[in-house]
Chains A and B, each alone.
Chain A
């Protein structure tokens, strides 16, 4: 097991290397001189030339990459062309907000998803089952930004219960997390239901019932535990995409996180901020997938990890 984990972590290094090369190439593909782009239009030609030398932009591409990644590993991404603040500070300031949002969304997705999924499976073929699955289907097909707007319309504009934008206490988190978590909740509900239905007909459940165990114990203690294995995988996969979804949710709610920062930076062509933001999103996605694979091996002993 330890060996499996170590091996996976070692394999991560070439992958992240590839990811960084891809981001480097993409930024270089953008038309225009990176030094000029970084300094902005008002910089003098001398300043641009100085920066070209500092960043090694007069060197061949592989050397440029070495410069770039060398600086990046030390946390030096240059300064935002908009705020003139170091890009690493721009990111660092907003990261906690995005992580808070993601954590709340995962929690909501789990509670709603597993809740509706179990309800639908236990009341299989009743109107409750059908209603849950229709809601889940709609949840998969609804764009998150529209759901966000509709939640604002109902809970902020009409009812006035919750704030529609910005950052603050838990009340500021509720609508954005619901928006971000809804899609994942819908998928989790569908998977929980079908997985639980599959397990419910297993022999060991018949045994559990035969020995007179109450139904909620049969479901809660025996069935659910086995049914949740595919849910764990799905949750991991969704969590990675969920952080990317923060780009959209944060834009809808003007929530000051990495996602909103990325969208604004792209609008401003602020490449010093775009690069670390992209790398961060890719890095967390890879990391979450790794954690899920490892968790999967831990939860399900049938998986061989040779």
Chain B
């Protein structure tokens, strides 16, 4: 038992060493930590309230009082972008976590028990995969309606087929390896083999893919909201702000510039870190 513990920690320690040397990934991680921090203490650091209207300062440009300007209700865009980080990060993370939970369960079941269960689950996945991702999210919203929780479900639904395939593939190859056979020979039960022997070995790959999926999730939350199919106004979601701001593009372009920049920065940070994790944890994934 101590043998296994040591090997596992050295994999993560090696990965951490590789990750630390990757400057782009560390920059991404730093930005992500900053964004998370900003999101957590948003009410403390934001100079105004996210819904605070000021009709004496409507659609004003960049100034010292309003670093990103104000919108058509006189709300401070800097404040709203800060609160937007809250929504985007939490909804994105929860959505990916939901997708991972569903996909992980489906993938484990299909990969471990195989046979007809595998066949049925994989054919069902084919049907889900016949829809482009964005369309799947749009379909979920069509049924459930708009709102934070439903967007999380939508992200979960469109992410789960990818996770299911990934976990299934991993389990398929792992369960044939010697250590799984040894566990079985020593009398471990099915669930014990699955959860305490096979699952930990898939964690590195899952972490890599999940981090890359988070970027897509954040983009999709914003996209759905922009289409009016996500998080509704007056919430200070980045996509919603862009959707509101687009009609003032001619007279007040800053209304549409800053929320968009926030999305790019967040997604870029997540992707840089994800790429770094991939190189550090599982260089084989690089080609895919």
Contacts and interface: CB of A to CB of B under 8 A. Distances in A.
Given A241-B133, A244-B132, A143 B227 contact: no
8 contacts: A30-B143, A142-B267, A143-B222, A146-B242, A150-B260, A153-B256, A244-B134, A281-B131
The residue in B142, B219, B249, B257 that gathers the most chain A C-beta atoms within 10 A of its C-beta is: B142
B183 to A, nearest CB: 36
A105 to B, nearest CB: 14
Interface residues of A, number: 43
A66 interface: no
Interface in B122-175: 123-124, 126-128, 130-135, 138-139, 141-143
A18 B127 contact: yes
Contacts of A152: 249
Contact of A244 (B124, B133, B260): B133
Contact of B215 (A141, A243, A248, A252): A141
Interface stretch (A93-101, A111-119, A173-181, A260-268): A260-268
Contacts of B130: 15-16, 18-19, 282, 285-286
Contacts, number: 119
B223 interface: yes
B23 interface: no
Contact of B249 (A26, A137, A153, A286): A153
Interface of A: 14-16, 18-19, 21-22, 26, 29-30, 137-138, 140-146, 149-150, 152-153, 157, 240-241, 243-245, 247-248, 251-252, 262-263, 266-267, 274, 278, 281-282, 285-286
Given A143-B263, A248-B223, A241 B242 contact: no
Nearest to B272: A137
B131 A241 contact: no
A19 B135 CA distance: 13
Closest 3 CB pairs of A and B: A244-B132, A146-B260, A18-B127
B260 A143 contact: yes
B59 to A, nearest CB: 15
Nearest to A28: B143
Interface residues of B, number: 38
B228 interface: yes
A157 B253 contact: yes
A266 B141 contact: yes
B268 interface: yes
Contacts of A30: 142-143
Contact of B132 (A15, A150, A240): A240
B132 A145 contact: no
Interface in B215-230: 215, 219, 222-223, 226-229
A153 B242 CA distance: 13
Nearest to A20: B127
B226 A278 contact: no
Given A145-B226, A153-B249, A267-B228, A26 B143 contact: yes
Given A146-B264, A241-B133, A251 B139 contact: no
B186 interface: no
A15 B249 CA distance: 44
Nearest to A142: B264
Nearest to B251: A157
B213 to A, nearest CB: 14
Given A149-B256, A244-B134, A26 B139 contact: yes
B20 interface: no
A247 B227 contact: yes
Contact of B227 (A21, A142, A263): A263
